[in-house]
Structure 1
Amino acid sequence: MKKLLSLLTLLFMIGGLFAQGANDYTKWRFTVEQKPGSNEAILVTKAITDEGWHGYSSVPASEFSGPLPTEFSYDDASKFELVGAIEEIGFHTHYDEIQEVDVTEFDHEGIFKQKIKINSSEDFVITGSISYMVCESGGMCIPGDKTFAFSVKGVKATASVETTKADTPKEEPSIEEPIQEATEEATVSIQDLVFWEYKIFETVEDKEYEIILTPDFEDSVSIVDPSKVSIAKSGDSPLEFSEFKATDKGYVSIIKFEGKEEPGALLNIKFDVNHKGAQSTVEQELPIALASTVRLTKGNCEPKTYEGIGASNEVKKSYIELFVGAFLAGLIALLTPCVFPMIPMTVTFFMKGAETTSKAAGIRKALLFGFSIIGIYTIIGTIVAVLFGAAFANWLATHWVPNILFFLIFMVFAASFLGLFEIRLPSSMVNKADAQADKGGLTGIFFMALTLVLVSFSCTGPIVGSILISAAQGGVIEPMLGMFAFSFAIALPFTLFAIFPNWLSKLPQSGGWLNSVKVVLGFVEIALGLKFLSVADQTYHWGILDREVYIALWIVVFTLMGFYLIGKIKFSHDSDMPYVKVPRLFMGIAVFSFVVYLTPGLIGHPLKALSGYLPPMSTHDFDLMGAINGTDEYQCEGDVLYSDFLHLPHGIAGYFDLDQAKACAAAQDKPVFIDFTGHGCVNCREMEAKVWSDPEVLKLLKEEFVVVALYCDDKTVLPEDKWYESKVDGKMKKTIGDQNLDFQICNFDNNAQPLYVTLDQDGDLLASPVAYDTDVENFKTFLKLAISNYKMNK
């Protein structure tokens, strides 16, 4: 049980870690060193990382490799000039064996000093941003960005002008300057221990922002009376502040601003502090930058709705409807290639030792197995949804790390089924008495359930997407109930098989027959495990498993399975088979027939029955069927973005960028057909093979629409000027897939693929979006309704 709790704790810690950004591990301090009346100043930036974290120099380690350097960019440099390079304090250089370059970094605290020449006679605020990376000693690195603001005095300031105490460091006394009195020295020392942090948020009102100030003092300093802190704008600034009010969040004010630029401002903060038993008044100036505004996030998207002819009158589902729908989705998920092959693995797992285990103990373990599945799905799934948002299901289903891991898991199980080794619990657990075995057995059962959940979630991610989307928008009860119902359907057959494992063991000649089943399942595991490798291959464009290679491997695997069934191949642990029994003969005939069915796929046959399991036709190097059918010529002139690595099926000449598609639609006076799809989307391939291939559907798509395929799992990183912060989860969207998925969620409140949407040139819906449905007539009706509404609206 301790191991189980430790694993859960680790999962939660990992979830919390990835939910945080680099700014959660780094504090920034911004001050200005400037002598009264001087036309030069030094901008001082201090970075303080948490224990065990470190940051990097502003000088890149290498042109082509190494960590991201700390880079400073300035919003407006018209009032100053940068002088010389950045001076760095607290850094050390060492050779990084992993990145194979010399890396300059700081541990815990690093200081950047940038000298400037002042070109303004008025006081001003310098604003800008820092892009940086921090890394944990264990090797995990997180990129981040931080806005900054510096308050600088104008050139005409004289020595009699009081400088900003918060921004002016303690100076060493000189002959020309009298030594400061003790009281003033005490005030200066307190200034070094008192800091203010601020955050600015957008509000629902246009051109209004909320600013929250929070003190971040050293332990030896405290505010005497927080209610008497005085905060007001200092100097000229287009920003208007309401009165700051003390709240549980901090000191809050509303900023009003009209204009396109994002200026800075200076706040004067006055308060009484207690430092080592002595009370004094501190007055500071805090420069702020409106550019540091946190944009609207979570639940502020406005999904499009269709209310025209043929609109679906959908109402919010009740909890009972949600439970039933999620339960049915779970039953459907049992038929996916990730879940179904796990059933015999479970039977094999629980059959070990079943003869020496009491029936009550077997039922107890089976129920624990079922409850483990439900608990893991419900608790972990809901936490993942809340922490990461709906996009995490897409990540798990498409990222190369989980897919390669699942591919390896399937290969390991396949090798075990073929007799290379046997997967079993440690012998110490098997040989103990029932009471002792319970403790070890619980851990084994839990890990078996965890393996099932992890492997199945890759395939079922799109199915549970509609459940997770409610969590991303702030729902809690809905995803919990939905995940419980979904996992209950998944757990039910596994639990029944676990309770009655001897359903298989009591069959005639159970030993030889069951071993043959395991071998056949080993071949099936190899074939189905290739799906995970294919998903990673398609998503990252590795070119390892193109369609013809994938089909060739399947032909080889199932041919070997056929030879095994008719006795031409024998493994070391197989029983002697003097003759082929009739059931095995019929199974062999079925397998060889399947191989014959696969063979035309090598020259481009669509193989509609397997469309969801095979790579798309666009990856086929020798597509004879495509050459015969030809390609679509209904496309605007000019290069199609991303067409070198993204493709549409059946020779449709469409687009992969929505703006490009809209421009073409305006030029050709056609509606836009959006296909939200993915490289690893099984149902997308089925729709393309079974529905899009219909001659009438294909004619409508080619001639009546401008088609754009938005891949929601593509990992291609876009240029930095195309990155943006999501309104759904507040995270930076950098890849083609992330931006397409974010667009789908924000505009259509859906994150599952496929999703088909028709829009006019103003971006309005022409029909209710449709999802996975292999009924060709329904899809024709959807397309014809969109065409009719488009013409009627004109």
Structure 2
Amino acid sequence: MDRLKTILLLFFFCCLSPGPTMQAQAITDPVQWSQELIRESDSVYVLVLEARIEPEWHLYSQYTPPGGALPTEFTFKNDGTGYKTLGPVQESETHTAFSTIFEVEETFFKGTARFSQKIQLTDLQLKGIQVDMFYQVCAEVCIGADRTFLFSFSDQPYVPEAAALDTESLAKGDALLLDLKNKELLSEDTGSGNTSRQGIWVIFGLGFIGGLLALLTPCVFPMIPLTVSFFTKQTQSRSKGVARAGFYGFCIVLIYFLLSLPFHFFDSVDSQILNTIATNIWLNLFFFAVFVAFAFSFFGYYELTLPSSWASKADHASDRIGGAIGIFFMALTLAIVSFSCTGPILGGLLGSTALSEGDVASNLTAGMLGFGVALALPFTLFALFPSWLQRL
């Protein structure tokens, strides 16, 4: 029964946490359009628009009832000037189905759709027509889109003339101009550099929180009193013990900082490319499997450890060398032997950081620094205030 509760709890948290795909994936238009101009006589033409709709998506008719998805709408620019429309826009065959979400009988297209509009030219010198279209497509989500189609009556592409503004409109536009002071301060506050710095501090904070969580794990928590007692009792003076403990904490931060340096070799990679890669379903399934493996490790079904020879060599080096270098190897030993508890936290931190926008290498460094600072902080604080160890 306990094992069943554990598994249910695991899947509860998996479902609760948002996936990277939901944050990074941009939804593209699932409808591809083509157009055709059919000439019936010197003055009568038919404007045709055809749509290819991706599976599982619905494009809605002009006549779908209100209260549901938005209907398709057409605007024939300058209708009545140089040409006139003959009747309403004709549609191809549609489907109807009751929507349990909106509770209305919706009319829509599946697979393909065709719209045609007959027009008559009143000015045979007319160069072309602009048709503006609004439509909505839905599957699990709904997407609204605006499209503009240009139909040319000559061999040259039709380019609409820019509308000329009258004197009154220009005067109103000039009245909206604001005489802002200290524009250089405004540009600094809203610049991309400031946004990037805010993002790095957020990631540093997430790493710091991860480091605080790692302190509570059974691989790290017992090391705090043991290590601090070693520095305070194995030295001739308290000040020297405090200095060594502080240097020990600095070495922990340095080690996690050094772990992020290899990622700077890939700083030329655009983060948007990584986000595009991250939307791949197989990559997201891989991340899911890794996080589930880490979760079961936390629940105690198995233990993730680095090779024991690594910890043995690092510990032997700290005993043999001594001094500042020996303290560094003590910090390295802590990082290695605590991997079974810190590994899942670091894995989640690195995975989330790699999928975030911005400079990936800088984000990783900020997250690792935050993690290292939180992990090293208690060793220094307890060395400064030994009485806190009894409360711990």
- Could you state the TM-score of these two structures normalised by the residue count of structure 2? 0.50
- Could you state the TM-score of these two structures normalised by the residue count of structure 1? 0.28
The structure richer in helix per residue is 2
